Amino acid sequence: MPRLPNDCFSSPEDMISVEQARALITEKTGRIADTEFVELQNSGDRVLAEDIYSSFDIPPADNSAVDGYAFLHADYTAQQDRAFNVAGRSAAGEPYLGELSEGYCVKIFTGASVPVRCDSIAMIEDVTEAADTIVLPAGLALGSNRRHAGEDLKTGALVLKSGTKLRPQEVGQLASMGHHKVPVFRRIKVALLSTGDELENPGDNLPYGSIYDSNRYMLLQLLNKYGCDVKDYGIIRDTFDTLRDAISDAAANTDLVITSGGVSMGDEDHVKAAVEAAGDLHFWRIAIKPGRPLALGQVGGTAFVGLPGNPVAALVCAIQFVKPLIARLSGETFPKDPFALSGKAAFSMKKKTGRREWLRGRYTCNENGVGKIEKFSSEGSGLISSLVWSNGLIELKEDTSTINQGDNLRFFPYSELFE
C-alpha cells in the first residue's frame, strides 16, 4: 500500500492563504488507496479507479424515439397519396428482420430497432390507420424520430475518468456499457477521536461542568458522506499518555487520524505533545475565520489532522481542508469545477481584510430566480444551532472589508460541501 512521504506536512512559517494551504495538501500528499472491484450496484459514491472507454456504440442500433410507423423517406416523397402497406412490426427487443420493398412500412414501438431500408418514423398520433395500409401526413422530415446508433456514446470514447466519484447517473452510464464489476479505490480508513476532560457521550450522565461530545457525532456523519471507512476511537481524556497511546494505536490501524479539541495551546491541550512524541506535527497558520491554526502532521505513514474544538470551527475546517485531503488520499479528482450559488446579501457588515471568512448562511431563491442570502445573527463558534439554522456557508474574500445589503455574494450549499 502506498504511504505518505516523511514529514509531508512540515509547516510554512508565514501566514498562508486558503489556496496555498490547499495547494500544499495537494502537492505533499498523494493517493494511498489501492484499487478494488465492487459490484455495479454497490459502486455509487465510490471513486472510479480507471479511465473507462466505451467498447461499442450506445445505443447499439438505430431505434425509434416514438410509437409509430417506420418508412423510407425516399418512398414517402415519391408517394402521391402517402399511403403505405404495413409489412410487420418491430417492438423493443423483437426487431423486424424481414426485407422491405418499396411502399412498405413497419409498425414500430419506442426503443425498437429501425428496420433495414427505413430511415424515418411517423408518430402514431399523426397517422391514419386502415386495415393493412396507413396514410402518413404531409411534411415529415427525413430522419424524423430516429435515434442513431452511437448518439449517446461512440465506440472508443473516453466516458469516465479515473478519480470520478460515481453519482447515480455515472452508475447508469456504466450499466449502459454492460459493466458489472467496477474498479474503484478502496475507502480510506479514518480514525476519529475527541479530546477533552469535559466531554461525555450522549446517553451518559452529564456532571456539572461537562458537555456532551457533539463533534465526533457530527464529523462521523461528514466522513461517512466523504466515503471514508470511519473507526470511532471515542473520547480520549486530555493527558499526554492517554493521547499518545490512543493516537499511536489509531495511526497504526488507519490511513488518517482526526481529532478535535486540545490544540489551542492551553495548559490542558496535550494533542501537540502527544503527536510529536509519536510522529511530526505542524501548526499551519491559515488566514481564515473561523478556525486557526490547523494542526497537520504524520504518525508513521498515517496523516494526522487536529481540528479545533469549537464545533463550528471544527466543521468549517473539516470542509475546507480535510475534504481536499481525503479526496487526495482516496484518489478522487480535486478540485472539481467550482460550484457556488450567487445571491444578494440580506445584511450589512464590516470585515477584517487579509483573511477569508465563512459565515453560516441561509440561501433562498425567489420565483424570479433571484437568490437571497441571510447570515446567522451571531458569529459564536460554539453554536451548533447556527449550523442547524444554515443551509450553507457564505464565503467572504480576503480583500472584502464591507458588505452592504444587496451586494452579490458567493454561497456554498452544504449539499455540495458534504459531497
Contact residues for Mg ion, defined by CB under 5 A: 196, 261-262
Beta carbon of residue 263, minimum distance to Mg ion (angstroms, whole number): 8
Residue 215 is a binding residue for ligand AMP (CB under 6 A): yes
Beta carbon of residue 382, minimum distance to ligand AMP (angstroms, whole number): 6
Based on CB atoms, which residue is closest to ligand AMP, 120 or 215? 215
Instruction: Please give the angle made by the CA atoms of 184, 187 and 193, to the nearest 5 degrees.
Output: 170
- Binding to ligand AMP (CB under 6 A): which residues in 111-140? none
Contact 280, 10 (CB under 8 A): yes
Contact 350, 260 (CB under 8 A): no
Beta carbon of residue 218, minimum distance to Mg ion (angstroms, whole number): 16
Q: Which of 95, 311, 343, 392 binds ligand AMP (CB under 6 A)?
A: 311
Contacting range for ligand AMP; rule: CB under 6 A; set: 22-30, 101-109, 285-293, 308-316: 308-316
Contact 45, 227 (CB under 8 A): yes
- The rounded distance, in Å, linking the Cα atoms of 107 and 78 is 20
Decide which of ligand AMP, Mg ion, none touches 199; Cβ closer than 5 to 8 Å per partner kind.
ligand AMP
Based on CB atoms, which residue is closest to ligand AMP, 48 or 281? 281
Task: Please list, in sequence order, all residues whose beta carbon lies within 8 angstroms of the beta carbon of residue 385, skipping any fewer than 6 positions away.
Answer: none
Nearest to 36 by CA among 330, 254, 335: 330
Based on CB atoms, which residue is closest to ligand AMP, 266 or 338? 266
Based on CB atoms, which residue is closest to Mg ion, 315 or 373? 315
How many residues belong to the site for ligand AMP (CB under 6 A)? 21
- The rounded distance, in Å, linking the Cα atoms of 311 and 10 is 26
Beta carbon of residue 275, minimum distance to Mg ion (angstroms, whole number): 15
Decide which of ligand AMP, Mg ion, none touches 170; Cβ closer than 5 to 8 Å per partner kind.
none
Encode 31-67: b = buried (16+ Cβ within 10 Å), e = exposed: bbbeeeeeebeebebbbbbeebebeebbbeebbbebb
Residue 213 is a binding residue for ligand AMP (CB under 6 A): yes
Residue 290 is a binding residue for ligand AMP (CB under 6 A): no
In angstroms, what CA-CA distances link 334 with 195, 321, 337, 374?
Answer: 30, 12, 9, 29
Encode 370-398: b = buried (16+ Cβ within 10 Å), e = exposed: eebbbbbeeeebebeebbeebebbbbbeb
Residue nearest to ligand AMP (CB): 309
Beta carbon of residue 8, minimum distance to Mg ion (angstroms, whole number): 27
- The rounded distance, in Å, linking the Cα atoms of 136 and 121 is 10
Decide which of Mg ion, ligand AMP, none touches 288; Cβ closer than 5 to 8 Å per partner kind.
none
**Cα separation of the two ends of the chain:** 26
Task: Please list, in sequence order, all residues whose beta carbon lies within 8 angstroms of the beta carbon of residue 58, skipping any fewer than 6 positions away.
Answer: 150, 152, 153, 176, 177
Residue 309 is a binding residue for ligand AMP (CB under 6 A): yes
- Binding to ligand AMP (CB under 6 A): which residues in 242-281? 260-264, 266, 269
Beta carbon of residue 260, minimum distance to Mg ion (angstroms, whole number): 9
Based on CB atoms, which residue is closest to ligand AMP, 43 or 310? 310
Nearest to 344 by CA among 330, 358, 325, 364: 364
Based on CB atoms, which residue is closest to Mg ion, 236 or 256? 236
Binding mask 190-209 for ligand AMP (x = CB under 6 A): ----x-x-xx----------
Cis omega before residue 59 (within 30°)?
yes
- The rounded distance, in Å, linking the Cα atoms of 297 and 281 is 4
Beta carbon of residue 218, minimum distance to ligand AMP (angstroms, whole number): 8
Beta carbon of residue 193, minimum distance to ligand AMP (angstroms, whole number): 9
Contact 290, 259 (CB under 8 A): no
Beta carbon of residue 230, minimum distance to ligand AMP (angstroms, whole number): 15
Residues in contact with ligand AMP by the rule CB under 6 A: 194, 196, 198-199, 211, 213-216, 260-264, 266, 269, 308-311, 382
